[in-house]
């Protein structure tokens, strides 16, 4: 059964361009070591002090950035250090699920710091919130994003990482949400990659999503696979307990040529009806080059009516500690 969402015990320190951050690789290695180096240089150019425990150019361990214990030890070590303000993840890929039971959540609770990432990192972020109440940011990662981050996306990242609230979530170029089901909700903002959320079902690392405002996206999944994931959430009783649901993009989701298929819109419309509160689509986050940063684990409000759909972050993710 999902674990009840804890009230956040502590916030992390606000992140500024003068902060000290560490780069960790809890999932896969960079597809090209040059991407990792470019990301490190981009962060340093912002004025950040950047620390790397393991060289980012190490040869991958299969589809992983290292064996399970090495990747878990890296995170556990970084969380004990009070001189580090945040941990930026190198990239997603695969592997975070393999280390959730090796992490020191007591150390995380005692030494709170910001985790930044998306995709496979969703599992880590939800597990940390579930076990400690600490929020995190679904935001740009070192190898795929920081070398080419656009000014609008970067501006939103610094606003939220620095503790700005309330903030209405609007796409980097003014993209707004499109309402699918009217209603209003106030609840903890949780979410990320749909596959990773479903992978946590039945484990002790998924927070209770009751009354939460859930945001989801995915990449490379065909409509029938997306349908299967939402069917799991429905059968697990999750959809009927949500406060609200916000669909991001499901990129590279076209069915194979010649394969009979429901459209993606038909799949999303079908599962939207099971949510008692508001539903909207069009959230620009995750697997986009230019994207929103979204907090995970803070209070939010979500309003959809005949004229507007609005998602607002109501409390800061950070505060002085």
In angstroms, the CA 50 to CA 41 distance is: 9
Give the up-direction half-sphere exposure of residue 81: CA atoms within 13 A in the CB hemisphere: 17
Contact 196, 300 (CB under 8 A): no
In angstroms, the CA 189 to CA 175 distance is: 19
Question: Is the preceding omega at residue 298 within 30 degrees of 0, hence cis?
Answer: no
Given strand 20-24, what is the order of strands in its sheet?
49-52, 20-24, 86-89, 114-117, 136-138, 294-296
> 200: helix, coil or strand?
coil
In angstroms, the CA 94 to CA 114 distance is: 21
Q: DSSP letters of 217-269?
A: EEES--HHHHHHHHHHHHHTT-GGG-SEEEEEEEET-PPPTT-----HHHHHH
> 79: helix, coil or strand?
helix
CA 191 to chain centre: 6
| Buried/exposed code over 196-232 (b: 16+ C-beta within 10 A; e: otherwise) | bbbbbeebebbbbbbebbbbbbbbebbbebbbebbeb
Q: What residues are annotated to the active site? A: 119, 217, 287
Which of 288, 93, 311, 295 lies closest to 191, judged by CA?
A: 295
Contact 91, 64 (CB under 8 A): no
In angstroms, the CA 42 to CA 316 distance is: 26
Other C-beta atoms lying within 10 Å of the C-beta of residue 158: 14
């Amino acid at each position: 059964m999902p674990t009840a969402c804890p009230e956040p015990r502590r916030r992390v320190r606000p992140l500024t361009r003068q902060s000290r951050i560490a780069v960790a690789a809890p999932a896969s290695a960079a597809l090209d070591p040059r991407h990792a180096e470019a990301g490190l240089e981009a962060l340093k150019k912002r004025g950040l002090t950047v620390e790397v425990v393991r060289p980012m150019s190490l040869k991958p361990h299969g589809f992983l950035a290292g064996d399970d214990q090495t990747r878990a030890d890296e995170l556990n070590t970084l969380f004990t250090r009070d001189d580090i303000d945040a941990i930026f993840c190198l990239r997603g890929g695969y592997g975070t699920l393999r280390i959730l039971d090796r992490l020191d959540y007591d150390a995380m609770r005692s030494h709170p710091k910001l985790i930044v990432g998306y995709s496979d990192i969703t599992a880590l972020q939800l597990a940390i919130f579930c076990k400690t109440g600490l929020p995190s940011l679904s935001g740009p990662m070192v190898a795929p994003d920081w070398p080419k981050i656009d000014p609008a996306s970067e501006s939103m990242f610094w606003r939220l990482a620095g503790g700005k609230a309330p903030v209405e979530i609007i796409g980097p170029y003014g993209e707004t949400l499109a309402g699918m089901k009217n209603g209003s909700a106030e609840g903890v903002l949780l979410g990320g990659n749909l596959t990773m959320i479903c992978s946590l079902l039945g484990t002790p690392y998924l927070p209770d999503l009751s009354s939460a405002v859930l945001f989801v996206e995915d990449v490379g999944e065909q409509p029938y696979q997306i349908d299967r994931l939402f069917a799991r959430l429905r059968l697990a009783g999750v959809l009927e307990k949500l406060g609200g649901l916000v669909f991001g993009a499901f990129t590279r989701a076209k069915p194979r040529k010649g394969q009979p298929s429901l459209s993606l819109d038909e799949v999303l419309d079908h599962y939207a009806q099971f949510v008692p509160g508001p539903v909207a689509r069009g959230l620009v986050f995750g697997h986009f080059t230019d994207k929103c940063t979204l907090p995970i684990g803070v209070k939010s409000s979500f309003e959809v009516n005949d004229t507007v759909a609005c998602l607002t972050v109501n409390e800061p993710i950070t505060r002085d500690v």
